[in-house]
Amino acid sequence: MSRTGLGQFGVMPPTVVREPTRDGEDIQICPECGHPVVKSKGSQRIEKPDLVHVALAAAFDVLVTFGWRCQRHPYEIVMPMRVGGDDASAFVDGWTGVEIRFSDEHIRHVATPEREVTEHVE
Check residue 117 and give its pLDDT. 84
With contact defined as beta carbons under 8 Å apart, do 60 and 74 qualify? Answer: no
Residue extents of the structural domains in the chain: 16-121
C-beta neighbour count of 31 within 10 angstroms: 17
Check residue 1 and give its pLDDT. 47
pLDDT tens digits, the chain, 122 residues: what are they? 455 566 677 777 789 999 999 999 999 999 999 999 999 999 999 999 999 988 888 888 999 999 999 999 988 999 999 887 777 666 778 888 999 999 999 999 999 998 888 877 66
Distances from the Cα of 7 to the Cα of 12, 37, 53, 71, 74, angstroms: 6, 22, 28, 13, 10
For the whole prediction, is pTM greater than 0.75? Answer: yes
